[in-house]
Structure 1
Amino acid sequence: MLCDDCGKKEAVVHIVQIGPNGRVEKNLCEDCAQKYGSTMLGGNEQPMSVNDFLKGVFSTPPRQAREEAPSGPELVCPNCGMSYRDFQQTGKIGCSVCYDTFRAQLEPLLRRVHGSSVHSGKIPHRTGGRLETKHEIAVLRAALKEAVAKEAYEQAAEYRDQIRALEHKLAHQEGAEAQEGEERHAAE
């Protein structure tokens, strides 16, 4: 596919811009994309790197930083030793434990960047539907809690029965998988 602007070089960048005039999509070559980016950033002659972009996204606005600033010592991940300040500078998490350590700071950030702090993507097939069943149970428990708060007891009883059926199904799935594992281990 050729560049939409120059029509000479191969397009390597796809830009989608949503503005007051609607959605505009452009396929640009590297040179035209750089020119387009500098005009979008107010004529800034220095090219913006991905790390600069991530720093801008991950940095906390000054007012909000003062409100959320911990009064004690800076949080540091007990597993890898990374601080939240290190994360702000690099835009990268050190390890999986960092997500738990910096949860209070990361949740608002994830909501701002992704619109949600909960993953709602696809569930792998190899889990045998267990994760999907667990998710259904969690959704029904929330609905049950809401129904009880609204004193809709008949609806709450239906949710309770559905939860029990799914928990029974989940126990059966996990039992079958455990039995398969034992049979495989015995065969080896």
Structure 2
Amino acid sequence: MYCDECKKRPATVHVTKIINGQKSEVNLCEECARAHHKEWSMAYDDNFPINKFLAGLLGFDAGKATGSVSLNLHAPGKCEHCGANYNQISQSGRLGCHQCYDRFQDKVEPLLRRVQGSNRHTGKVPKRSGGSIRLQREIQSLRAKLQQHVNNEEFEQAARLRDQIRELEKGMAE
């Protein structure tokens, strides 16, 4: 895709604005984006730091950081594995290690729900491989629907789902 402005260079900056329900999209190269950045409500930055974005979601203003780590009385202590504290994590926007998820769970879980919509990673399965994984997920989904129908005493729909689950399980066994 080429730049909408100069039509010469590849578009690397994609701006989508929604104003009063009207959506407009502009695809620009870096040079044209720099030339038009004042027209947008946000400034264009060559090195958009995702960690600053995440730090903002954590409630830390990275612009006010002076390089020293101040104590946050509301944050729990340090991670026993890597030694990171919550202030360091909120400044960098990155967890120190895998155990930080457990140590700072009460702070990280709401953030993950806001950013990703869930705090559980389900991942994606390639279509060519992983057919059995997709079948297992479909069976789990159908079982949840089956339980809802049973709870609502919708037994005909529940019976259809039960039969569908049995067919999928038969296909997995083969």
TM-score (norm 2): 0.62
Contact 2:16–2:24 (8 Å) recurs in 1: yes
Q: Hey, what does 1:153 align to over in structure 2?
A: 155
The change in CA–CA distance for 1:162 and 1:16 in structure 2 (over 3 A counts) is: same
Q: With CA pairs under 8 Å and 6+ residues apart, which has the higher RCO, 1 or 2?
A: 2
The change in CA–CA distance for 1:101 and 1:139 in structure 2 (over 3 A counts) is: farther
Contact 2:37–2:44 (8 Å) recurs in 1: no
- Alignment partners' CA distance in 2, 1:127 and 1:103: 33
Q: Hey, what does 2:24 align to over in structure 1?
A: 24
Q: Hey, what does 2:14 align to over in structure 1?
A: 14
1:16-65: CA deviations, max 9, x gaps? 222226121222343442454455347x79988423333223437xxxxx
User: Which protein has the bigger helix share?
Assistant: 1
SS in 2 for 1:92: coil
The change in CA–CA distance for 1:106 and 1:134 in structure 2 (over 3 A counts) is: farther
**Paired residue type of 1:88:** S
The change in CA–CA distance for 1:8 and 1:140 in structure 2 (over 3 A counts) is: closer
SS in 1 for 2:17: strand
**Paired residue type of 1:53:** F
TM-score (norm 1): 0.59
Shift of 1:161: 3.3
Q: Hey, what does 2:164 align to over in structure 1?
A: 162
Structure 1 residues 1-188: aligned runs within 5 Å: 1-2=2-3, 4=5, 7=6, 10=9, 11-20=11-20, 22-34=22-34, 36-41=36-41, 49-50=48-49, 51-59=51-59, 74=76, 80-96=82-98, 98-99=100-101, 102=104, 104-117=106-119, 122-125=124-127, 127-170=129-172, 172=173
Shift of 1:137: 1.4
**Paired residue type of 2:140:** A
Gaps of 5+ in 1: 61-69, 174-188
**Paired residue type of 1:147:** H
Contact 1:38–1:47 (8 Å) recurs in 2: no
**Paired residue type of 2:22:** G
- Alignment partners' CA distance in 2, 1:53 and 1:136: 35
CA RMSD of aligned residues (A): 4.1
Shift of 1:129: 0.9
Paired residue total: 161
* Overall identity of the aligned pairs, in %: 40
Contact 2:58–2:111 (8 Å) recurs in 1: yes
